[in-house]
Amino acid sequence: MKQKFHNGDLVRISKDLGATMKHFTNDCEAIVIGSYDEQYGSGNAETHEYSLHLKGRGHCSWYHEDQLTLIETGRRDLMDEWKAAEEREATEKGDLDWIFSHGDEVLKSAHGATLATLGACLGCDNLWGSRGEGITYYSNAMRILEIAGPFLRIGDRALWDEYCRDRRDNKEKYYETTPTG
């Protein structure tokens, strides 16, 4: 079978993705990166699943051909624009001054760059863990927001910095006294 969409195609993701994909982003524009088989070598070119770059969201895989509608071919230029805008947003929302001046917004819906910055302050440099699992990311994100929450609510970056510095300075001591098992 011939694939319907190709690298650079601008598509619309349908509103209804079905019960098994209701947690996926829907009803938005995306640029086709390629078929899932092209991207990851699944060995099953008959599945007609696609990896996409979703506007404002980034890369996501496993969208089925029947969930996509072609808008226009050859729009890699648009993906470059989207990526540049996403990078600008990540730079802004990864800045500690921005984070602490928007504490309530962060606590309602934290950007990935915000979580990465707060995590790095706490010594967590990889929210995804060694296997890149979404549940690990989610768990780390929730814990980071739980720890940072009181500081964000009062907008006190200086106190946050002091807390993180103290935590790093006493990390070895902390782990020596923490019960295991």
With the C-alpha atoms ordered 42, 45, 46, 47, is the resulting torsion angle positive or negative? Answer: positive
Average pLDDT of span 137-145: 95
Q: What is the pLDDT of residues 23-58, one digit of tens each?
A: 899 999 999 998 866 766 655 555 688 999 999 888
Torsion on CA atoms 12, 15, 19, 20, rounded to nearest 10: 20
- Among 84, 65, 64, 73, which residue's Cα sits nearest to residue 31? 73
Q: What is the pLDDT of residues 153-176, one digit of tens each?
A: 999 999 999 999 998 888 755 444
Adjacent-strand bridge partners of 34: 51
- The domain limits of the chain are 10-78, 94-177
| Minimum mean pLDDT range among 114-118, 120-124, 165-169 | 165-169
**pLDDT score for 45:** 56
Average pLDDT of span 57-64: 87
Q: What is the pLDDT of residues 67-79, one digit of tens each?
A: 999 999 999 999 9
Q: What is the pTM of this model?
A: 0.74
**pLDDT score for 60:** 87
Phi, psi of 142, deg, nearest 5? -65, -40
Higher pLDDT, 146 or 41: 146
- Among 60, 62, 10, 13, which residue's Cα sits nearest to residue 37? 62
DSSP state of 69: E
**pLDDT score for 34:** 86
